[in-house]
Structure 1
Amino acid sequence: MSSAKPARVHAPRLAREQRVDEILLAARDLFCEKGYELTAVAEIALKLGVVEGTIYKYFATKRELLLKVLEYWYEEMFGDYARDLAGQSSHRARLHLLIWRHLRSVRDFPRLCRLMFREVQSEHDYRGSLLHDLNRRYTQLLVDVIEAGIAGGEFRADLPAPLLRSLVYGGIEHHSWAYIMNATVKNGRNVCGRGALDIDSLAEQLTTLVCEGIAVRHSHPSSAPIRGEDIPRGASA
């Protein structure tokens, strides 16, 4: 009777790309649930059922892992923008789509937004990084839509598109700041003591605000300036 021990069964080794994707998703879940500072690399490993050293095999530091999580998130946000924007019937509709999608990202991933605004953008390793480039490409989509609207005669040409980009994204960040700072995860969902973020209404309101300000105005006889002698007696100018 053979006394040979049965062959040891090893868990199948994952391809590098698949393993990296799993680490990034697990890290994102925990960063969103607990925050970056309170999440230990060991917890990410535990969530995946691997030893802590496995994480460091792919990411030298926790900070590098955070930057890669945000890069992965930005790449997801790009999605099928080219196809979806082309499917819109007007420049206003394309602008609305970009605003709505950005608001959806804020609503669904407030803690990632908080990390981006507070932990990353103010640090020395952000400028010139891949994440910085992704952010510029992401916001450039809105500039391109506005410039196309200008070229098509739908939007005014005297207002610089980069300024409007800052108005939109800066306005969204400011308006949603309380939501971003107070959002927590409960039963897998983002909740906030300051109320929910109504992205449908906000997207429509912000799109209207921007488009009403940059729409080309066509002169009509009825819109001619009122002269002093045209003002009825008793009315104030």
Structure 2
Amino acid sequence: MAQRATKRQVNRLPPEQRIADIMRSAREVFTEKGYSESLISDIAERAGVVEGTIYRFFENKRDLLQRVAEAWYIEMMEASEPGFGAVQGEWNRIHYVVYSHLDAMQRDPGLARLVFHELRPDPHYRSTRLFELNRAYTRRIPEIVREGVARGVFRADVSSSLVRDMVYGAIEHRTWAYLRNEGEFDLETTAREITDVVYGGMLLPRAPAEAPRDEILARLDLLTQRVDAVARQLGS
């Protein structure tokens, strides 16, 4: 009697795990090769699947890049949220936000390049989920500004949205050479300098401090001596 052929068992992963594997592989390939040089076949090989499996979960390569970038923003928010609540003081809170973002860019320059060069220039960017995630991610700076104004630390005429744009614009400009593989930046120094400039520019002007009592008495004594000297000259 002919022996029945046995079927090879296929290890079927849950869809969530398969998607996670594909996105992890896509992130690696995109950051190594850049978007234009990355192929779906490269990602499939890295993930250990056939190309058709990728198209089951993602429309195309662009959709896959979009999802990878969204996951990165979610990672950054989840990493920074726990520590932010424990930070007190406007300078410290601004510094925490600036430092955290600089640190993320220093650790993942490839992803930062993809977002800046491939996704943000897209004419439909403002209608994407990535745009909404970016708004949520950058909301801390306007919150700090509004709270500082309410507490009498910052000027009332400060635009919170403008400050947000200045902070993230400064970060992008200071890291531009690094993202282009043309130089480095010092994380600690850059975070402190950006924070100092932004914080100092918003401070509410303070009235001059009152002169110490001894200094006032010394000035009065000097003035009295001068008046006496003038009086003696006039009487002589």
Secondary structure, counterpart of 1:79 in structure 2: helix
Q: Relative to structure 1, is the Cα distance of residues 219 and 88 closer, same or farther in structure 2, using a 3 angstrom cutoff? A: same
More displaced, 38-47 or 111-120? 111-120
Secondary structure, counterpart of 2:164 in structure 1: helix
Match of 2:8 in 1: 8
Q: CA deviation at 1:34?
A: 1.0
- 1:79-118 alignment runs, 5 A limit: 79-118=78-117
**1:51 maps to 2:50:** yes
Q: Which has the larger radius of gyration?
A: 2
TM-score, normalised via structure 1 length = 0.83
Instruction: Give, as a single letter, the amino acid of the residue that structure 2 aligns with 1:203.
Output: A
CA RMSD of aligned residues (A): 1.8
Q: How many residues align?
A: 211
Q: Give me the whole-angstrom Cα distance separating, in 2, the residues matched to 1:215 and 1:121.
A: 32
Q: CA deviation at 1:92?
A: 1.5
Q: CA deviation at 1:5?
A: 3.0
More displaced, 91-100 or 14-23? 14-23
Q: CA deviation at 1:82?
A: 3.7
Match of 2:197 in 1: 209
Q: Give me the whole-angstrom Cα distance separating, in 2, the residues matched to 1:121 and 1:10.
A: 40
Instruction: Judge conservation of contact 1:95–1:146 (CA < 8 Å) in 2.
Output: no
Instruction: Give, as a single letter, the amino acid of the residue that structure 2 aligns with 1:9.
Output: Q
Match of 2:121 in 1: 122
Q: Give me the whole-angstrom Cα distance separating, in 1, the residues matched to 2:121 and 2:45.
A: 31
- 1:191-202 alignment runs, 5 A limit: 194-202=182-190
Secondary structure, counterpart of 2:18 in structure 1: helix
Runs of 4+ in 1 over 4 A off after TM superposition: none
**Per-residue Cα deviation, 1:169-204 (whole angstroms, up to 9, x for no partner):** 11111121111122xxxxxxxxxxx33221111101
Q: Give me the whole-angstrom Cα distance separating, in 1, the residues matched to 2:31 and 2:92.
A: 31
Q: CA deviation at 1:10?
A: 1.4
Secondary structure, counterpart of 1:127 in structure 2: helix
Secondary structure, counterpart of 1:69 in structure 2: helix
Instruction: Give, as a single letter, the amino acid of the residue that structure 2 aligns with 1:111.
Output: G
Q: CA deviation at 1:18?
A: 1.8
Q: Give me the whole-angstrom Cα distance separating, in 1, the residues matched to 2:76 and 2:83.
A: 12
Instruction: Give, as a single letter, the amino acid of the residue that structure 1 aligns with 2:117.
Output: R
Match of 2:67 in 1: 68
* Larger helix proportion of the pair: 2
Q: Give me the whole-angstrom Cα distance separating, in 1, the residues matched to 2:158 and 2:142.
A: 12
For structure 2, the residue ranges without an aligned partner over 5 or more in a row are: 212-236
Structure with larger RCO (C-alpha < 8 A, sep 6+):
1
Q: Give me the whole-angstrom Cα distance separating, in 1, the residues matched to 2:23 and 2:50.
A: 15
